Structure 1
Amino acid sequence: MDILTQIEQGVLTITFNRPEKKNAITQAMYQAMADALRAAEQDNTVRAIILTGQPGIFTAGNDLEDFMKNAASIANPSAVPPVYQFMRALNECGKPVIAAVSGAAVGIGTTLLLHCDLVYLADNAKLSMPFSQLGLCPEFASSMMLPRMAGYQRAAEKLLLGENFSAEEAMQLGFVNKVLPADELLAHARAVADKLVALPAKSVRVTKALMRQGQAAQVQDVMNAENAHFAAMLGAPEAREAFTAFFQKRKPDFSQFD
């Protein structure tokens, strides 16, 4: 299975499990994660959630073949395709979510971290939000949340250029709790999850809700606006050139576009 889920001693672990494709995410994988998060909300035995991948790869972002195959549905946000279901489920999750990231975290692999309560990176982590490079725009409310966390100029550098940045840079941007040696990452995340499980569940949920009060609705509004732009840009010539260049393994040429 491309998404593994395991509940053990109060902790739900959701694992990207498609290493042969660098954990590139399909719509089926988004659906599986959305369903797992919703189920966890209703399961009183689950008191903390970990999102992780393999030791050398978190996720390469969207599987572009699957993405283009499902472009019509993705370009219709009102249909609530699986990717948007996952975004909403993570944004609305009332239980603490911990991300444990090793290796590459591309696109949504980085933007989803902005919605996690605790984020731990391996020292080999490489993050990026290459939406501009694909003729697209930010997603998952990153256009609002990253400037708030990092400041406008530092967020602009990451979102406008879309270039890779290191675990240490991510720490400086303000959305990472700790950078660890890769071989210590998952054990540390699990130890933190165990601490949360040992606390009164209601206290943890209410504390999270208070810290995020008002934010969930605002995030959803920004996501809706981003999704509308994203959907329109997905069918535009710039995106077609970017995706064609990707599949042809060449550099895209955007000089013909205004």
Structure 2
Amino acid sequence: MTGITLRHEGATLVVGFDRPDKRNAITVEMYGELAAALDRAEADPAVRVVLFHGTDGVFTAGNDLRDFLENPPDGPDHPAFRFIRTLASANKVLVAAVDGPAVGVGATMLLHCDLVIAARTAQFAFPFINLGLVPEAGSSLLLPRLAGYHRAAALLMLGDSFDAETAREIGLVSRVVEADALQTEALALAARLAAKAPEALRQVKSLIKSPRHEVDTRIVEEAELFMHRLRSPELREAIDAFFAKRQPDFSRFA
């Protein structure tokens, strides 16, 4: 596999983003591997918890933009959308250990995790607007419920990065720890969860999650807009600016 590592720690499936030369940016191939790993975890009674983590002080910088533009989503079966749906519908407990950047899908996926531990050095961003895009993964529904409308609007309309303490304040992160303790704390938390009564744990998760049909509907609505935005001149300007290492100029767009 390329860019994704999988290992078992007792009843925990540990899923790593491991593409440090690209800041763990996610390719289409990686999305397919992630979705397949979650499907296998759902079907495996020996797996009770899934733990996501990054590599070398980076969770993930989000989509690999060059790969994403070469293989853009063109329907609901695209690996990126398949991963999002699998994540959103997971019955197993999902935990994330975040250090360094968690950008784009690296931040929106956390809205579907049950517990998130962050290092103090973690940085989060929902930068879709800066690329002329709309939010994804149900974040336009889930983030306002979590953080309140005005804070969610600021995060999604400005696309600024924010630190671990802010993430904890708005409820995106459940706990902040020192960077050198992150992996140990996350594995210990996953082990505690894995030791709970499994059926009861699944039922607790089902009870406290947002109504499933609302999330599913919003994911589809966002995906349709997202695919349309990928063909927009605003996105082209944002991508050209990104690779030219300059600020995008949207002044000519109405």
TM tier, smaller: over 0.9
Match of 2:249 among 246, 249, 253: 253
Within the candidate set 66, 83, 86, 1:86 is matched to 83
Partner of 1:77 in structure 2? 75
Is this contact kept in 2: 1:55–1:182, CA < 8 A? no
2: distance between equivalents of 1:254 and 1:138? Answer: 18
Q: Which SS does the other structure have where 2:188 is aligned?
A: helix
SS of the equivalent of 1:5 reads strand
Partner of 1:101: 98
Given candidates 217, 227, 232, the residue that maps to 1:231 is 227
Q: State the distance in 2 between where 1:174 and 1:206 align.
A: 22
Deviation at 1:250, TM superposition (A): 1.6
**Structure 1: runs of 5+ lacking an equivalent:** none
Aligned to 2:173, which of 172, 176, 189?
A: 176
4+ residue runs over 6 A deviation = none
- Which whole-Å CA distance do the structure 1 matches of 2:212 and 2:100 have between them? 29
Q: Is the 8 A contact 1:96 1:208 kept in 2?
A: yes
Q: Which moved more, 1:131-140 or 1:241-250?
A: 241-250
Q: Which residue of 1 aligns with 2:136?
A: 139
Secondary structure of the 1:59 match is: coil
Q: Is the 8 A contact 2:104 2:125 kept in 1?
A: yes
Q: Distance in 1 between matches of 2:44 and 2:97?
A: 22
TM-score by length of 2: 0.97
Q: In structure 2, how many angstroms separate the alpha carbons of the residues matched to 1:154 and 1:210?
A: 26
How many percent of aligned residue pairs carry the same amino acid?
Answer: 45
Q: Is the 8 A contact 2:141 2:218 kept in 1?
A: yes
Q: Is the 8 A contact 2:120 2:176 kept in 1?
A: yes
Whole-angstrom distance in 1 between the partners of 2:191 and 2:242: 42
RMSD of aligned alpha carbons:
0.9
Mapping of residues 2-41 of structure 1, within 5 Å = 2-41=3-42
Runs (5+) with no aligned partner, structure 2: none
Q: Which AA in structure 2 matches 1:27?
A: V
The CA distance in 2 between the partners of 1:184 and 1:22, in whole Å, is: 21
Q: 1:65-214 maps to which residues of 2 (within 5 A)?
A: 65-71=66-72, 74=73, 76-78=74-76, 80-212=77-209
Pairwise CA distance, 1:176: 1.1
- Post-superposition Cα deviations, 1:128-151, rounded to whole Å, max 9, x if no partner, equal 011000000111111110100000
Q: Helix, strand or coil for the counterpart of 1:13?
A: strand
- Residue pair 2:20, 2:56 contacting (<8 A) in 1 also: no
Q: Compute the displacement of 1:55 (Å).
A: 4.2
Distance 1:170 1:148, change over 3 A: same
Q: Tell me if structure 1 keeps the 8 A contact 2:49–2:193.
A: yes
